């Protein structure tokens, strides 16, 4: 078998085409093309050496897909076929291309599409519904994998080496997730709402950042998963004490950004204990709760806005607070219970 050691100029130029094509597919909010998707599902089974499913059941989201499966199936009576249907062809492709070619396609296609689709969209859906749909194939949200192998299939003519994944490539073009079983396959509609910020992170200040036709939705601010009420409640109605009691630093940061740090502090009795450059060590008193709670006011470099982070009450200077955060001033960790 001839080994491919480098990309031709036309193949190199095609990398951007495959990257852009599969980013569009991965982010697509159009309804699924069910006839073509069902052809692809049947192809997935055949190429894995399996009988085609007797029935394909369409659901309105990956979550309802998993729940329907759980309700009507006894897992002991029907075998999940994800491992067979999602068979890897990496080894067969690897044998045909040199490391340098593989690495080039990986960086130009796999990583680029993953950053735009997998990390911002697919990973959020998987994290939300994993307990119900952990056996799924990810359809359009496998865009980085599918773009990678389609490039080898079409541009480097490695047809035989990529045959097993052909069905999944076609599925990704036409539908969302599937849950394959021996006689039945559940298929999910695509998401129909997708809102992102300029960095490609899930973000919507006024509603769901990602949603499916049945109402299953993910709320997020600048890529941080949020409770729906945190997004849907107007900034002026969010309680400052509740925000500072939020344990997750990323969620707390986004809530403070939404409300505005000056508005936050205007509702809480506070004193500046120490100031150094852009840092301020604050003593905040919570009416009816704990008094003299210490917070470090600082700029978050990733988004360029101020936020508050709780520090040990023994910190009396900005330097001590910074050192405490770095683990050099004490071992006590941020504890939201200090406010209760």
Sequence-distant (6+) residues with CB within 8 A of 83 are none
Q: Does 168 reside within a domain? A: yes
Q: Does residue 128 register a pLDDT over 90?
A: no
Q: Does 249 reside within a domain? A: yes
Mean pLDDT of 161-172: 94
Please give the Cα distance from 244 to 267 (Å, whole number): 12
pLDDT tens digit string along 200-221? 999 999 999 999 999 999 999 9
In the block, residue with structure tokens 């952990």: 134
Indicate the SS3 state at residue 248: coil
Mean pLDDT of 17-33: 96
DSSP 271: E
- Write down the pLDDT at residue 178: 92
186 and 242 in a single domain? The answer is: no
Please give the C-alpha separations between residue 136 and each of 24, 65, 198, 209, 325, in angstroms, as whole numbers.
21, 10, 30, 22, 40
15 and 162 in a single domain? The answer is: yes
Q: Does residue 272 register a pLDDT over 80?
A: yes
Q: How confident is the model at residue 234 (pLDDT cuts 50, 70, 90)?
A: very high
155 and 261 in a single domain? The answer is: no
Residues of the domain holding 296: 237-339
């Amino acid at each position: 078998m001839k080994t491919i050691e480098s990309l031709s100029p036309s193949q190199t130029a095609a990398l951007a085409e495959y990257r852009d094509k599969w980013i569009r597919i991965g982010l697509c909010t159009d309804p699924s093309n069910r006839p073509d998707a069902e052809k692809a599902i049947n192809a997935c089974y055949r190429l894995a050496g399996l009988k085609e499913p007797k029935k394909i059941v369409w659901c309105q989201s990956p979550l309802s897909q998993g729940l329907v499966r759980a309700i009507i199936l006894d897992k002991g009576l029907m075998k999940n076929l994800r491992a067979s249907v999602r068979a890897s062809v990496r080894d067969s492709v690897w044998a045909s291309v040199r490391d340098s070619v593989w690495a080039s396609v990986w960086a130009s296609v796999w990583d680029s599409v993953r950053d735009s689709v997998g990390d911002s969209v697919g990973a959020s859906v998987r994290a939300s519904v994993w307990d119900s749909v952990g056996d799924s194939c990810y359809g359009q949200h496998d865009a980085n994998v599918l773009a990678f192998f389609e490039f080898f299939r079409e541009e480097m003519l490695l047809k035989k080496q990529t045959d097993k994944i052909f069905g999944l490539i076609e599925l990704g073009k036409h539908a969302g997730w599937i849950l394959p079983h021996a006689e039945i396959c559940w298929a999910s509609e695509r998401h129909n709402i997708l809102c992102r910020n300029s960095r490609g992170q899930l973000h919507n200040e006024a509603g769901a950042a990602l949603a499916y036709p049945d109402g299953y939705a993910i709320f997020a601010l600048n890529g941080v998963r949020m409770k729906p009420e945190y997004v849907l409640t107007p900034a002026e109605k969010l309680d400052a004490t509740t925000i500072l009691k939020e344990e997750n630093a990323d969620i707390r940061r986004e809530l403070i950004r939404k409300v505005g740090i000056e508005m936050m502090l205007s509702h809480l009795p506070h004193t500046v204990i120490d100031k150094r450059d852009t840092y301020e060590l604050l003593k905040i008193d919570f009416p009816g709760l704990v008094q003299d709670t210490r917070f470090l006011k600082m700029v978050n470099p990733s988004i360029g806005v101020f936020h508050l982070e709780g520090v040990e009450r023994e910190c009396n200077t900005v330097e001590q607070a910074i050192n405490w955060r770095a683990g050099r001033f004490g071992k006590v960790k941020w504890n939201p219970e200090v406010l209760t």
